[in-house]
A and B are shown apart, each in its own frame.
Chain A
Amino acid sequence: MEDLLLFIFLTFLLAASLSVCFIKKLIHAVIVFGVYSLVMSVIWQMLGSPDLAITEAAAGIGVSVIMIAVVTRLGREDQ
Protein backbone atom coordinates (compact mmCIF):
# COMPACT_ATOMS: atom_id res chain seq x y z
CA MET A 1 0.00 0.00 0.00
CA GLU A 2 2.75 2.42 0.94
CA ASP A 3 4.75 1.47 -2.15
CA LEU A 4 1.76 2.25 -4.36
CA LEU A 5 1.28 5.60 -2.64
CA LEU A 6 4.97 6.39 -3.05
CA PHE A 7 4.78 5.47 -6.75
CA ILE A 8 1.81 7.79 -7.26
CA PHE A 9 3.58 10.62 -5.45
CA LEU A 10 6.79 10.15 -7.44
CA THR A 11 4.87 10.15 -10.72
CA PHE A 12 3.11 13.33 -9.61
CA LEU A 13 6.50 14.84 -8.71
CA LEU A 14 7.85 14.05 -12.17
CA ALA A 15 4.80 15.55 -13.86
CA ALA A 16 4.94 18.70 -11.71
CA SER A 17 8.65 19.29 -12.21
CA LEU A 18 8.38 18.76 -15.98
CA SER A 19 5.35 21.03 -16.29
CA VAL A 20 7.17 23.89 -14.50
CA CYS A 21 9.47 24.06 -17.54
CA PHE A 22 6.67 24.16 -20.10
CA ILE A 23 4.04 26.42 -18.47
CA LYS A 24 3.99 29.81 -20.17
CA LYS A 25 2.43 32.05 -17.48
CA LEU A 26 4.85 32.82 -14.64
CA ILE A 27 2.28 32.86 -11.84
CA HIS A 28 1.04 29.36 -12.80
CA ALA A 29 4.61 28.07 -12.87
CA VAL A 30 5.20 29.46 -9.36
CA ILE A 31 2.06 27.72 -8.06
CA VAL A 32 3.08 24.39 -9.63
CA PHE A 33 6.53 24.81 -8.06
CA GLY A 34 4.84 25.15 -4.66
CA VAL A 35 2.90 21.93 -5.33
CA TYR A 36 6.18 20.21 -6.22
CA SER A 37 7.66 21.24 -2.85
CA LEU A 38 4.55 20.07 -0.98
CA VAL A 39 4.67 16.59 -2.56
CA MET A 40 8.42 16.43 -1.97
CA SER A 41 7.83 17.22 1.71
CA VAL A 42 5.28 14.39 2.02
CA ILE A 43 7.74 12.00 0.34
CA TRP A 44 10.50 12.95 2.81
CA GLN A 45 8.10 12.17 5.66
CA MET A 46 7.16 8.79 4.12
CA LEU A 47 10.83 7.87 3.66
CA GLY A 48 11.38 8.39 7.39
CA SER A 49 13.09 11.76 7.42
CA PRO A 50 10.86 14.25 9.28
CA ASP A 51 13.79 16.62 9.74
CA LEU A 52 14.05 17.22 6.00
CA ALA A 53 10.24 17.32 5.71
CA ILE A 54 10.05 20.34 8.05
CA THR A 55 12.87 22.10 6.22
CA GLU A 56 11.35 21.37 2.80
CA ALA A 57 7.95 22.61 3.96
CA ALA A 58 9.43 25.87 5.25
CA ALA A 59 12.13 26.49 2.64
CA GLY A 60 10.52 24.98 -0.44
CA ILE A 61 6.92 26.09 -0.01
CA GLY A 62 7.52 29.24 1.97
CA VAL A 63 10.72 30.94 1.01
CA SER A 64 11.59 29.88 -2.52
CA VAL A 65 8.05 30.33 -3.85
CA ILE A 66 7.83 33.79 -2.29
CA MET A 67 11.29 34.72 -3.54
CA ILE A 68 10.44 33.62 -7.10
CA ALA A 69 7.15 35.52 -6.94
CA VAL A 70 8.88 38.71 -5.76
CA VAL A 71 11.66 38.47 -8.33
CA THR A 72 9.30 37.83 -11.26
CA ARG A 73 6.96 40.64 -10.14
CA LEU A 74 9.89 43.07 -10.05
CA GLY A 75 11.07 41.87 -13.48
CA ARG A 76 7.65 42.43 -15.00
CA GLU A 77 7.40 45.96 -13.63
CA ASP A 78 10.69 46.89 -15.26
CA GLN A 79 9.50 45.93 -18.74
Chain B
Amino acid sequence: MPDKILREITSLLLPFIQMYGIYVVFHGHLSPGGGFAGGMVLGVSLVLYILVFGLDSCLRKIPHHLSSALESFGTLWYAAVGFVGLLRGASFLMNKGAGIDVGTPGELFSGGLIFIITIGVGVKVASTMLSLFYTLVEED
Protein backbone atom coordinates (compact mmCIF):
# COMPACT_ATOMS: atom_id res chain seq x y z
CA MET B 1 0.00 0.00 0.00
CA PRO B 2 1.52 3.37 -1.00
CA ASP B 3 2.13 6.04 1.60
CA LYS B 4 -0.14 8.90 2.65
CA ILE B 5 1.56 11.63 0.58
CA LEU B 6 1.04 9.70 -2.67
CA ARG B 7 -2.62 9.08 -1.88
CA GLU B 8 -3.34 12.70 -0.91
CA ILE B 9 -1.58 14.18 -3.97
CA THR B 10 -3.32 11.74 -6.29
CA SER B 11 -6.77 12.43 -4.91
CA LEU B 12 -6.02 16.16 -5.29
CA LEU B 13 -4.74 15.83 -8.86
CA LEU B 14 -7.10 13.19 -10.31
CA PRO B 15 -10.17 15.46 -10.89
CA PHE B 16 -8.05 17.93 -12.88
CA ILE B 17 -6.57 15.17 -15.08
CA GLN B 18 -10.02 13.76 -15.80
CA MET B 19 -11.49 17.21 -16.44
CA TYR B 20 -8.68 17.92 -18.92
CA GLY B 21 -9.38 14.62 -20.69
CA ILE B 22 -13.09 15.44 -20.97
CA TYR B 23 -12.19 18.96 -22.19
CA VAL B 24 -9.97 17.55 -24.96
CA VAL B 25 -12.70 15.10 -26.02
CA PHE B 26 -15.43 17.76 -26.14
CA HIS B 27 -13.25 20.26 -28.06
CA GLY B 28 -12.10 17.63 -30.55
CA HIS B 29 -13.42 19.55 -33.56
CA LEU B 30 -12.07 22.94 -32.42
CA SER B 31 -8.64 22.52 -30.84
CA PRO B 32 -5.73 20.05 -31.04
CA GLY B 33 -6.55 16.62 -29.73
CA GLY B 34 -9.79 14.78 -30.15
CA GLY B 35 -11.34 11.49 -29.25
CA PHE B 36 -8.12 9.50 -29.18
CA ALA B 37 -5.95 11.95 -27.24
CA GLY B 38 -8.68 12.86 -24.73
CA GLY B 39 -9.69 9.25 -24.20
CA MET B 40 -6.05 8.36 -23.64
CA VAL B 41 -5.75 11.03 -20.91
CA LEU B 42 -8.92 9.67 -19.26
CA GLY B 43 -7.60 6.11 -19.46
CA VAL B 44 -4.25 7.10 -17.95
CA SER B 45 -6.06 8.79 -15.05
CA LEU B 46 -7.91 5.53 -14.33
CA VAL B 47 -4.65 3.55 -14.49
CA LEU B 48 -3.11 6.05 -12.05
CA TYR B 49 -6.07 5.45 -9.73
CA ILE B 50 -5.42 1.68 -9.86
CA LEU B 51 -1.69 2.12 -9.15
CA VAL B 52 -2.32 4.27 -6.07
CA PHE B 53 -5.55 2.93 -4.56
CA GLY B 54 -5.25 -0.71 -5.58
CA LEU B 55 -6.92 -2.92 -8.15
CA ASP B 56 -9.87 -4.02 -6.00
CA SER B 57 -10.98 -0.46 -5.28
CA CYS B 58 -11.20 0.28 -9.02
CA LEU B 59 -12.81 -3.10 -9.82
CA ARG B 60 -15.58 -2.20 -7.35
CA LYS B 61 -16.29 1.06 -9.22
CA ILE B 62 -15.82 -0.15 -12.81
CA PRO B 63 -15.96 -3.97 -13.13
CA HIS B 64 -14.13 -5.71 -15.94
CA HIS B 65 -17.32 -6.65 -17.79
CA LEU B 66 -18.52 -3.02 -17.67
CA SER B 67 -15.29 -1.70 -19.23
CA SER B 68 -15.49 -4.40 -21.93
CA ALA B 69 -19.12 -3.44 -22.61
CA LEU B 70 -18.17 0.27 -22.85
CA GLU B 71 -15.45 -0.71 -25.33
CA SER B 72 -17.99 -2.38 -27.61
CA PHE B 73 -20.42 0.49 -27.07
CA GLY B 74 -17.90 3.02 -28.44
CA THR B 75 -17.44 1.11 -31.68
CA LEU B 76 -21.17 0.48 -32.13
CA TRP B 77 -21.86 4.17 -31.39
CA TYR B 78 -19.50 5.18 -34.22
CA ALA B 79 -21.23 2.79 -36.64
CA ALA B 80 -24.72 3.86 -35.52
CA VAL B 81 -23.89 7.54 -36.04
CA GLY B 82 -22.49 6.62 -39.45
CA PHE B 83 -25.84 5.11 -40.44
CA VAL B 84 -27.58 8.46 -39.84
CA GLY B 85 -26.14 9.64 -43.14
CA LEU B 86 -27.48 6.55 -44.92
CA LEU B 87 -30.94 6.97 -43.36
CA ARG B 88 -31.14 10.55 -44.62
CA GLY B 89 -30.44 9.46 -48.18
CA ALA B 90 -26.72 10.25 -48.49
CA SER B 91 -23.59 8.09 -48.14
CA PHE B 92 -22.20 6.50 -44.95
CA LEU B 93 -20.90 9.02 -42.33
CA MET B 94 -22.06 11.95 -44.50
CA ASN B 95 -22.36 15.05 -42.35
CA LYS B 96 -23.28 18.33 -44.03
CA GLY B 97 -24.20 16.66 -47.33
CA ALA B 98 -26.96 14.76 -45.53
CA GLY B 99 -28.62 18.01 -44.52
CA ILE B 100 -27.47 18.10 -40.89
CA ASP B 101 -27.16 21.54 -39.30
CA VAL B 102 -23.45 22.14 -38.64
CA GLY B 103 -23.92 25.42 -36.75
CA THR B 104 -21.47 28.31 -36.58
CA PRO B 105 -17.79 27.38 -36.98
CA GLY B 106 -15.77 27.92 -33.80
CA GLU B 107 -18.59 27.31 -31.34
CA LEU B 108 -18.63 24.32 -28.99
CA PHE B 109 -21.89 22.81 -30.26
CA SER B 110 -21.08 22.85 -33.95
CA GLY B 111 -19.76 20.39 -36.48
CA GLY B 112 -22.90 18.24 -36.63
CA LEU B 113 -22.11 14.54 -36.27
CA ILE B 114 -18.37 14.98 -35.62
CA PHE B 115 -19.09 16.23 -32.11
CA ILE B 116 -21.23 13.15 -31.38
CA ILE B 117 -18.76 10.69 -32.92
CA THR B 118 -15.82 12.09 -30.92
CA ILE B 119 -17.58 11.32 -27.62
CA GLY B 120 -17.93 7.68 -28.70
CA VAL B 121 -14.25 7.50 -29.64
CA GLY B 122 -13.27 8.97 -26.26
CA VAL B 123 -15.34 6.40 -24.34
CA LYS B 124 -13.89 3.62 -26.49
CA VAL B 125 -10.23 4.58 -26.00
CA ALA B 126 -10.56 5.22 -22.25
CA SER B 127 -12.26 1.89 -21.58
CA THR B 128 -9.79 0.08 -23.86
CA MET B 129 -6.89 1.35 -21.74
CA LEU B 130 -8.67 0.17 -18.58
CA SER B 131 -9.55 -3.27 -20.01
CA LEU B 132 -6.00 -3.73 -21.27
CA PHE B 133 -4.62 -2.97 -17.82
CA TYR B 134 -7.16 -5.30 -16.14
CA THR B 135 -6.21 -8.10 -18.55
CA LEU B 136 -2.46 -7.60 -17.96
CA VAL B 137 -2.80 -7.49 -14.16
CA GLU B 138 -5.27 -10.39 -13.81
CA GLU B 139 -3.08 -12.63 -15.97
CA ASP B 140 -1.10 -14.15 -13.07
With A51-B32, A54-B32 in contact, do A66 and B40 touch (Cβ < 8 Å)?
no
Main secondary structure of the interface of B (DSSP, over half): helix
Q: How far is the CA of A70 from the CA of B132 in the complex (A)?
A: 11
Chain B residues in 8 Å Cβ range of A58: 37, 40-41, 43-44
The minimal Cβ–Cβ distance linking B53 to chain A, given in whole angstroms, is 15
Q: A63: CB under 8 A from chain B?
A: yes
Chain A interface size range: 10 to 19
CB nearest to B36 among chain A residues: A55
CB nearest to A69 among chain B residues: B51
With A51-B37, A55-B37, A58-B44 in contact, do A66 and B51 touch (Cβ < 8 Å)?
yes
CB nearest to A74 among chain B residues: B140
Chain A residues near B (Cβ < 8 Å): 50-51, 53-55, 58-59, 62-63, 66-67, 70-71, 74, 77-78
